[in-house]
Structure 1
């Protein structure tokens, strides 16, 4: 990341508690980036921050986001920057310094992270953010990505309800993509590090709200349905996301993924979908068709074969499309 005005970061909080944290973080100057880039740290109340926010009409509206947020733990401390390499680095490399539930948002991201070390640039019009959380039970850490995906789709539906917008049927493509009308409009990625008997989890989301390239976006589909209706705003979607995530996360912790499984199966694209699995038998590749039924307890695809045998399907790690190049094992 170049060391210029784009390195500026603005801190803001939902209440005086978070504002005090912001003041301390700025004073101590502890926020670091992996490439040791020097950043200019600003409080929302400062004139420089206001100037930066007003410089571009498409900048993230911090006040609108905070007004939209009702979550008690997540999203209440926010870092915004007009341009970052990746929000994930801000969160993951400063895990100990930031309060739990802190979120980093940027308007332009030029080294976004995906599966298999994929990197891409996300332009203006996308909602791009990463946040942190802490988990103790290693048995459920791998399931957090499904909670994040559900929170994204539920947030879109919630905003539609609140604003009286036409229903936008966003879906999850396993394991970490968001689809709309058969086209990808977003994705999410979670990473975890075990430290001091706990898991430090960094979750990142990218959602194309108002940019029709390279596929489509929420507002383009919305305008097709109702040209005169209001539009989705990134700030309102992010507020709704944390409200939904907090509720779904608490359900996962109290009752396990079974409490979310029905909702997840209604939201994803794959129930009863048939996929081809390639098995290697005696140095020969044999193709078999299986039907997806749901998820296994370990978070992989549950499928049934023509022989009525249940299988667990896992990506082989080599295919760009994770519904191709699957390997299976009997259950």
Structure 2
């Protein structure tokens, strides 16, 4: 699965005004070639966008059926005994103690009503409505305090297999670690980030390492206002990190997005023997790129050899001396659309490698990130600087700065003081002038393919 930014409509319109024949039957009538009925004709709009994606070299679903499937129930389970019970107590959920079936309990958060119920009990709809009214407007969370749900309940993600891999990886270090031990899974949800980031009453009671996983999403989110495509076959997850303000000097919060990117790349490359050949890189500030299988012998100069294969989104809230971070990640694992996937890359090396398993890769990422984060708190990002540069795409890359002078610059690296991108100005002969700029990740957009750094609008 990949998180992929949609092209702006204006750019799409300018692209199609070159009168490609493939669109002639779609863009007829109306003003300036734009049909008047598109505002009310969703089917024609989908046909138009499908044709655009094909012209851009992307694959798209040819179906124009407008069916919105219902969101699935969520499943809450833990690796260790008592983890789910302890979390439910923290959330203020009261369980029956008379030995009878526990009643469902409701948590009213800012944007979502959560109904927690025992995963081994199927409550009748009339019973649910006695607690929450219209049950169709409520997110049901089935809790499993003794064992995770059977695989038949979560056919696209085997939670038991995930926990087995997680325990195996957690047993290797000499220190106790816990990220990913409490898992909330849903086959179809709106967004793994939004379901906790937009419900701060819930978020502020969740522990660091609490992880949300979805098979598909209906409202995946990107940086700024960018939407994201979330097809079947990707690994989509979010993890909570509570970062205390006392770490501000040694471990500024801005570096955590870089730490996550490094953890993902290393987990992919150290997944198993032979996977270090997988050509995966970091694009500043928070994307994962893959090199095309046609050019895998060395690091190519041609930027068109790269495709986006994953992305990271960090949302932050602050309260009571803590940053409450929700770190969302999406990685193309087995899906073929819209660009490429880890499966395709693994099949392309010599000899071909088995496809990545979602459960095992997630467990690897969780353990790698937690170990890196613990070291980050003690030593800062300087401890990872050279390793980070080993995997990123931008050493000495020449870029154009979209400013009043359209300056040209050479990327130097990341400032270890504040996490900003450091660039050196170049003159018309590509010689450094001695002037440097610092660019914020949140305030600038990096068009890697065109070598253009611009301010976000």
TM-score range, shorter chain: 0.7 to 0.9
Corresponding residue of 2:452: 324
Report the count of equivalent residues: 316
Q: Structure 1 length as normaliser, TM-score?
A: 0.86
Q: Which residue of 2 is the match for residue 19 of structure 1?
A: 84
**Partner Cα separation in structure 2 for residue 3 and residue 119 of structure 1:** 17
Deviates more, 1:313-322 or 1:211-220: 313-322
* Superimposed CA distance per residue, residues 181-208 of structure 1 (whole angstroms, 9 cap, x where no aligned partner): 1100000011111101111111110001
Relative distance call for 1:316 and 1:11 in structure 2 (3 A) is closer
Task: Give runs of aligned pairs for residues 1-331 of structure 1, distance below 5 A.
Answer: 6-21=71-86, 24=89, 27=95, 28-30=105-107, 32=109, 34-36=111-113, 37-44=137-144, 49-50=149-150, 53-54=151-152, 57=155, 59-69=156-166, 70-71=169-170, 72-92=177-197, 93=199, 94-137=202-245, 138-139=248-249, 140-161=252-273, 164-165=274-275, 167-181=277-291, 182-226=306-350, 229-280=353-404, 286-296=405-415, 297-305=417-425, 306-314=432-440, 317=443, 321=447, 324-326=452-454
- How far apart, in 1, do the equivalents of 2:258 and 2:276 lie? 25
**For the Cα contact (< 8 Å) 2:208–2:241, is it kept in 1?**
yes
Q: Which deviates more from structure 2 when the two are superposed, residues 124-133 or residues 12-21?
A: 12-21
Bigger mean CA offset, 307-316 vs 10-19:
307-316
**Partners of 1:146 and 1:309 in 2: how far apart?**
25
* Distance in 1 between residues matched to 2:153 and 2:78, nearest whole Å: 21
Q: Is contact 2:191–2:219 with CA below 8 Å preserved after alignment?
A: yes
Structure 1 gap ranges (5+):
281-285
- Larger CA deviation: 316-325 vs 165-174: 316-325
Q: What is the rounded CA distance, in whole Å, between the counterparts of 1:200 and 1:60 in structure 2?
A: 27
Following the alignment from structure 1 to structure 2, what is the Cα–Cα distance between the partners of residues 319 and 61?
37
TM-score by length of 2: 0.63
Report the CA distance between 1:66 and its aligned residue.
0.9
After superposition, what is the alpha-carbon deviation per residue over 1:225-263, rounded to whole angstroms, capped at 9, x for unaligned?
Answer: 257532101111111101110111112110111111111
Name the CA distance, whole Å, in 1 between partners of 2:182 and 2:138.
21
Q: Is the 8 A contact 2:238 2:329 kept in 1?
A: yes
For 1:289 and 1:320, locate their aligned partners in 2 and report how far apart those are by CA, in whole Å: 14
In 1, are the aligned partners of 2:286 and 2:313 still within 8 Å (CA)? yes
Q: Deviations over 1:59-114 (max 9, x none)?
A: 11111111111341211100000001100122322212323210000000121111
Bigger Cα displacement from structure 2, 316-325 vs 219-228: 316-325
Is the 2:193–2:326 contact (alpha carbons within 8 Å) kept by the matching residues of 1? yes
- Range that drifts further, 112-121 or 250-259: 112-121
Which of these two proteins has the greater Rg computed from alpha carbons? 2
In structure 2, runs of 5+ residues without a counterpart are 1-66, 96-104, 114-136, 171-176, 292-305, 426-431
What does the per-residue CA deviation read over 1:159-194, in whole Å, with 9 as the maximum and x for residues that have no partner?
133xx4462121111011100011000000111111
Distance 1:77 1:274 in 2: 44
Deviations 1:16-70 (A, max 9, x none): 13132366567544375724441222234799943xx42674x111111111113
Query: How well do the aligned residues superpose, as a CA RMSD in angstroms?
Result: 2.8
**Segment of structure 1 superposing worse, 197-206 or 93-102:** 93-102
